A and B are shown apart, each in its own frame.
Chain A
Amino acid sequence: MSTFYFIAFLSVFFSILVITAKNPVHSILYLILTFSTFTVHYILMNAQFLAVVNFIVYMGAILVLFLYTLMLINLNKESEPRKSNLVKIAGFVGGACFLITIVAALKAWGTSHPVVLNDPNLGLVKNLGKILFNEYLLPFEVSSILLLSAMVGAVLLATKDPKTA
């Protein structure tokens, strides 16, 4: 349990650094650290496959692309657009309202019942695969088609229209 609190503290700490860092590239580096603490959370929950996929997909691919884009755009300048004070106050009020709603919702829901899995080894690759391809085959296939269509859409958007080009 103490490991959990330590890692949870690190997650929150790095997430705060993500939004307070002045330089966008530093923000992304803190985001990488945040995701690495998530990997540790998954391992603590015995979800090995999720942990390693989070490691590969988020830390190894998506955030590399984030960093890539930011390096291309910003070129080492601290060129964060300055927002007016009105926008900042509006953002603060909106965020605070959201926080209160979330806290109230969690309090009403009652969080003191720990979720007990029927099978603590659910997160291992073999068990996860069996469940995904037996019980949840249809949602699994549907979501994969959704991802495929998103990919085709992205390629379509990126290719130039031959008439206008």
Chain B
Amino acid sequence: MGVADIVIKFVLIVIIFAISLVIAMYSTYAERKIAAFFQDRVGPNRAGPWGILQPLADGGKMFLKEEIIPTNASPFLFIAGPSLAILTACIGSAVIPWGQQIIMGKYVIPLQVTDINVGILYIFGVVSLGVYGVMIGGWASNNKYSLLGAIRAASQNISYEISMGLSIIALLMVTGTLSLKEIAEQQHGWHWNVLYQPVGFLLFIICAFAETNRTPFDLPECETELVGGYHTEYSSMKLGFYLFAEYINMFISSAVMATLYWGGYNYPGMDWVLAHTGPVIGPLIGTAVMFAKVFLFIFFFMWVRWTIPRFRYDQLMDLGWKILIPLAIANIIVTGLWITFIK
């Protein structure tokens, strides 16, 4: 690995990190605008034209607010909670392939930070670590409501991880590889995995909602029962980190869903486009397609948030254990039969 490779990787990491943060910032704006649209309101429109500077104003407010650490809270863990939440949210993007490789002169630039051959399992591990930020923060606050929120987050994440893992197993039976790069390459053109795994995709997206704590699964921060849930005691930028982590998680899980099931950077007619635009513009168009898919998923997350009311806690557990897990196991069996007899 020469100096040029290291520089390329470094630049790529910085770009992806910056894009994650900017998308998370503007997701808050998009969420409020979409909520306004669904509820027939105007939404934020004061800061800049169409309120486009609203996220900056919010961020500035978060930074400048007074920072309060409760007297009986455990100070180190109280700070470690949100830091861990944002850390686990950010490291998931390392294995996602954002596009085909760009060939620029003698340099080959892969649009993926690293291709480890257990890529899916890495994502899954990062997702399962994500709950620690919520749990540690909720416990360290020394507040009943925070603790209840933390405990809800833990049990919800554990329950939905199982069906998420089982839906991934069915996908792996079809693809035969754990590397996200190879999975993306296999879906060349229009051979998207969602055509072979529609039930698996349904299971995965439901579990993704649960893992990112989005409505209708946002029981850990259910304000009608728990004041603010796990972040009741948080203020200023530490609260901002929790909210930010949720939006980054949403972005990363949208990117994972797009890569695993909806073809990633592939689109019908990509070979023709690649042949006519050259090895720099062509892959970038693929990346644009990838981001279009990601934005559609983020929109879907918000659409569901303002459409479906929150579950009751027993309904949440019933859905996870009595419906999704049997469905996921049935999906694995059907996929096995399909591979053995038809494919």
Q: Mark B107-140, 1 if CB is under 8 A from A, else 0.
A: 0000000001110011011011101100110010
Per-position binary interface string of chain A over residues 120-149, scored 1 when its CB falls under 8 Å from any chain B CB and 0 otherwise: 000011000000000000000000000000
| Contact B124–A76 (Cβ < 8 Å) | no
Determine whether the beta carbon of A71 is less than 8 Å from that of B125: no
CB neighbours (8 Å) of B124 from chain A are: 56, 60
Given contacts A56-B124, A61-B161, contact A68 B132 (CB under 8 A): no
When chains A and B are docked, how far (Å) is the Cα of A68 from the Cα of B153? Answer: 10
Decide: A71 near B150, CB < 8 A? Known: A56-B125, A56-B128.
Answer: yes
Which residues of A lie under 8 Å from residue B131 when comparing CB positions? 64
Q: Is the CB of B147 within 8 A of A75?
A: yes
A61→B128 contact, CB < 8 A = yes
Q: Which residue of B118, B128, B132 contacts A48 across the interface (Cβ within 8 Å)?
A: B118
Residue of A nearest to B77 (CB): A29
CB of A53 to closest CB in B, whole Å: 7
**B23 → A minimal CB distance (Å):** 25
Query: What residues of B have a CB within 8 angstroms of the CB of A75 in the complex?
Result: 147
A49 at interface (Cβ–Cβ under 8 A)? yes
Contacting pair B161 A67 (CB below 8 A): no
With a CB–CB cut-off of 8 A, which chain B residues contact A38? none
Which residues of B are found within 8 Å of A65, using beta-carbon distances?
154, 158
Question: Is B142 positioned at the interface, with any CB of A under 8 Å from its CB?
Answer: yes
Contact, CB under 8 Å: A125 / B118? yes
- CB-defined contacts of A25 to chain B, threshold 8 Å: 139
Known contacts A48-B118, A52-B125, A56-B125: A71-B155 contact under CB 8 Å: no
B157 contacts chain A at the CB level, 8 A cutoff: yes
User: How long is the Cα–Cα vector from A60 to B131 in the complex, in angstroms?
Assistant: 8
The reply on A31 being an interface residue by CB < 8 A is no
Contacts A25-B139, A52-B125, A64-B157 given; does A124 touch B117 at CB 8 Å = yes
The 8 Å CB contact of B178, one of A59, A61, A125, is: A125
Q: How far apart are the CA atoms of A8 and B16 in the complex, in Å?
A: 33
Chain A interface bracket (under 10, 10 to 19, 20 to 34, 35 or more): 20 to 34
Are B121 and A67 neighbours in the complex by a CB distance under 8 Å? no
- Indicate if A72 sits at the interface (CB-CB under 8 A): yes
A60-B139 contact, Cβ under 8 Å, with A65-B158, A68-B151: no
* Alpha-carbon distance A72/B151, docked complex (angstroms): 8
Q: How far is the CA of A71 from the CA of B143 in the complex (A)?
A: 12
Q: In the complex, which residues of chain B have a beta carbon less than 8 angstroms from the beta carbon of A40? A: none
Bound CA–CA A67/B127 (angstroms): 17
Contact of A76 among B121, B128, B139 (CB under 8 A): B139
A18 on the B face (CB < 8 A): no
Tell me, in angstroms, the Cα distance from A49 to B178 when the chains sit together: 10
> Is the pair A52, B122 in contact by a Cβ cutoff of 8 Å?
yes
Chain B 152-192 interface mask (CB, 8 Å, partner A; 1/0): 00110110010000000000000000100000000000000
B118 interface neighbour in A49, A64, A71, A72, Cβ under 8 Å: A49
A52, B128: Cα distance in complex, Å: 12
Interface contact B151-A60, CB-CB below 8 Å: no
Q: How far is the CB of A88 from chain B (nearest CB, A)?
A: 27
Task: Determine the distance from Cα of A53 to Cα of B157 in the docked complex, in whole angstroms.
Answer: 17
Flag if A76 contacts B161 (CB, 8 Å): no
Which residues of chain B are near A56, meaning CB under 8 Å? 121, 124-125, 128
A selection of 24 A-B contacts at a CB cut-off of 8 Å is A25-B139, A29-B136, A53-B121, A56-B124, A56-B125, A59-B129, A60-B125, A60-B129, A61-B128, A61-B158, A64-B128, A64-B131, A64-B132, A64-B135, A64-B157, A65-B154, A68-B154, A71-B135, A71-B150, A76-B139, A76-B147, A124-B117, A125-B117, A125-B178
The interface of chain A, by Cβ under 8 A from chain B, is: 25, 29, 32, 48-49, 52-53, 55-56, 59-61, 64-65, 67-68, 71-72, 75-76, 124-125
Identify the B interface with A (CB < 8 A): 77, 116-118, 121-122, 124-125, 127-129, 131-132, 135-136, 139, 142, 147, 150-151, 154-155, 157-158, 161, 178
The 7 A-B pairs with the shortest beta carbon distances in the complex, nearest first, are A60-B128, A55-B125, A52-B121, A68-B154, A56-B125, A52-B118, A48-B118
Q: 17 new A-B pairs (CB below 8 Å) besides A56-B121, A65-B154? A: A48-B116, A48-B117, A52-B121, A55-B129, A60-B124, A60-B129, A61-B158, A64-B132, A64-B157, A67-B132, A68-B158, A71-B135, A71-B139, A71-B151, A76-B139, A76-B142, A125-B178
